[in-house]
A and B are shown apart, each in its own frame.
Chain A
Amino acid sequence: GAVVSQHPSWVICKSGTSVKIECRSLDFQATTMFWYRQFPKQSLMLMATSNEGSKATYEQGVEKDKFLINHASLTLSTLTVTSAHPEDSSFYICSASNRQGYFTEAFFGQGTRLTVV
């Protein structure tokens, strides 16, 4: 299967600072990328869907000014958590898909553990 690399794997930051998480598709063109948040012992909550070159579509209840998503190229999407607070501490996971339909499944990054202190 295709490889999606997410960086960093974990990060600790102070309240009020911003954190950027990168998601790269290493061997295919990711026309669509998805960002999820996962709380302990729970399923994945979709935060937003981004198509290359256009604005992200956010799920209801997700603050787009707080969780900035950029998908400027076919191999890179970034999620920036702005003015982070302890309640933003979570496991963030990205996934990538190819619109051309060769891959019907999504490929996932390894996740980023964010801890805000």
Chain B
Amino acid sequence: GNSVTQMEGPVTLSEEAFLTINCTYTATGYPSLFWYVQYPGEGLQLLLKATKADDKGSNKGFEATYRKETTSFHLEKGSVQVSDSAVYFCALRGTQGGSEKLVFGKGTKLTVNP
């Protein structure tokens, strides 16, 4: 079945540091890939997505590229801010579209210190 393996945290960085959170997946066909962010006490918000190979999702300075050859979707940001402190989830959805469930990684907690 489909699965997502995500770098385990916690990750602690200083403000303006470079961020990478690794995510690899196992799936048949061409799944859609997502990064979600969860701030304390809140639900999940979509951060970015990519629906086909070589697509790059980007939002709020975060980027991730759908790499079919390495089955990866690593999240990167060149300069993190304190406000980026949150838990980040990598997820995939199979080829059945909106009615198919998301498969999540375990989440990576990021703390950015001033």
Residues of A within 8 A of B (CB): 1, 6, 31-32, 34, 41-44, 46, 49, 51, 93, 95, 97-101, 103-111, 113
In the complex, which residue of chain B has the Cβ closest to the Cβ of A96? B98
Q: Given contact pairs A43-B105, A104-B97, enumerate 8 new A-B contacts (beta carbons under 8 Å).
A: A49-B101, A103-B98, A105-B34, A106-B93, A106-B98, A108-B36, A108-B46, A110-B43
| Residue in B42, B97, B99, B109 whose CB lies within 8 Å of A110 | B42
Query: Given that A1-B46, A105-B32, A111-B43 are contacting pairs, would A95 and B102 also be in contact in the complex, using a CB cutoff of 8 Å?
Result: yes
Which of under 10, 10 to 19, 20 to 34, or 35 or more describes the interface residues of B? Answer: 20 to 34
Task: Check if B45 sits within 8 Å of A108, measured CB to CB.
Answer: yes
Smallest CB–CB gap between A14 and chain B, Å? 23
- B contact residues around A31 at 8 Å (CB): 98-99
In the complex, which residue of chain A has the Cβ closest to the Cβ of B9? A41
In the complex, which residue of chain B has the Cβ closest to the Cβ of A51? B99
Which residue of A32, A46, A104, A109 has the most chain B CB atoms within 10 A of its CB atom? A104
- A contact residues around B106 at 8 Å (CB): 42-43
- B contact residues around A43 at 8 Å (CB): 89, 104-107
User: Chain B 71-114 against A: per-residue CB contact (8 Å), 1 yes, 0 no?
Assistant: 00000000000000000010001000111011011110100000
CB-CB nearest 10 A-B residue pairs: A97-B98, A108-B44, A111-B43, A108-B43, A110-B43, A32-B99, A43-B106, A101-B97, A99-B98, A104-B32
Q: How far is the CA of A88 from the CA of B99 in the complex (A)?
A: 27
Query: Given that A43-B105, A43-B107 are contacting pairs, would A101 and B43 also be in contact in the complex, using a CB cutoff of 8 Å?
Result: no
- A contact residues around B32 at 8 Å (CB): 104-105
In the complex, which residue of chain B has the Cβ closest to the Cβ of A45? B104
Q: Can you give 12 A-B contacts (C-beta < 8 A)?
A: A32-B99, A42-B107, A43-B89, A49-B99, A51-B99, A95-B44, A99-B97, A101-B97, A101-B98, A105-B93, A106-B98, A108-B44
Smallest CB–CB gap between B91 and chain A, Å? 9
Smallest CB–CB gap between B88 and chain A, Å? 11
Which residue of B32, B41, B98 has the most chain A CB atoms within 10 A of its CB atom? B98
